[in-house]
Amino acid sequence: MSVQYQVKVLRDVENKVLNRRELILRVDHIGSRTPTRNEVRELVSSMFSAPANLIIVKSLKTLTGTNVSEAHVHVYKDEKSLEEIEPKHIKLRNFGKEKEEEKKEGS
């Protein structure tokens, strides 16, 4: 059974200084659980034709007593900007250990 989410863009700002697009999304998930960060990244990737590895979900909060979540998302133009700007703990939340292992193998 696939879960259907309805996504509405509440705010869309192009931040040229930090080389990213900053989004605030409203995700309706009626009759199902809160979407995971990975699911939100995939939704944003398909909506904006951006690679999933350049998308960071800063926060994902479900409004109390509802089936509505608000997501703060950053879509970067390149991987170098993402690595320089985003804190390590945010990258770990979004990419998990897979990104850290890739770095160790490359070193």
Q: What is the pLDDT of residues 68-81, one digit of tens each?
A: 999 999 999 999 99
pTM score, whole prediction: 0.85
Could you read off the pLDDT of 27-48 as tens digits, one per residue? 999 988 999 999 999 999 999 9
**Cα 32 to Cα 4, 9, 35, distances in angstroms:** 9, 20, 8
Cβ distance 59 to 90 under 8 Å?
A: no
**Three-state DSSP class for residue 23:** strand
* Cβ neighbourhood burial of 34 (10 Å; 0-12, 13-18, 19+): middle
Average pLDDT score over residue span 97-106: 61
Nearest Cα to 78, choosing from 38, 40, 50, 43?
Answer: 50
